[in-house]
Amino acid sequence: MAALAADVTGTWKAEFDTQIGVQKYTFTLKQDGKTVTGKANSIIGDGKNESSLAEGKIDGDTVSFVELLNFQGSDLRISYRGKVSGKEIKFSRQHLDKRQ
């Protein structure tokens, strides 16, 4: 019997401590079946950014997506993978190589 997928629709807040300082995020996610879409609003230093999320999916209690971020004129792809547990998602994130 297949496990039921978690429902990640809603607003999720996160903070990441990085080499450029603390980054505060608000993710707005919408789930439709196994597909996840949404956007990320971030505060990095004094700057605010809004970016779209791509390649979003959910498999059981694992959610993943790619943030398409423009930071200081550079296009970045940041991969997120997280385990949903109740009202919390424990994310790991990784910068992906720039694709041509």
The domain spans of the chain are: 10-96
Vertex 45 angle, CA 39 and 50, to 5°: 15
pLDDT tens digits along 58-99: 999 999 999 998 877 889 899 999 999 989 999 999 988 655
pLDDT tens digits along 7-51: 999 999 999 888 878 889 999 999 999 999 999 999 877 788 899
Residues 6+ away with beta carbon under 8 Å from 20: 44, 45
Distance CA 91, CA 82 (A): 4
Dig out the tokens for 41 from the structure: 């609003």
pLDDT tens digits along 43-63: 877 788 899 999 999 999 999
Vertex 94 angle, CA 93 and 97, to 5°: 155
Vertex 62 angle, CA 57 and 63, to 5°: 35
Query: Which amino acid is it at 90?
Result: K
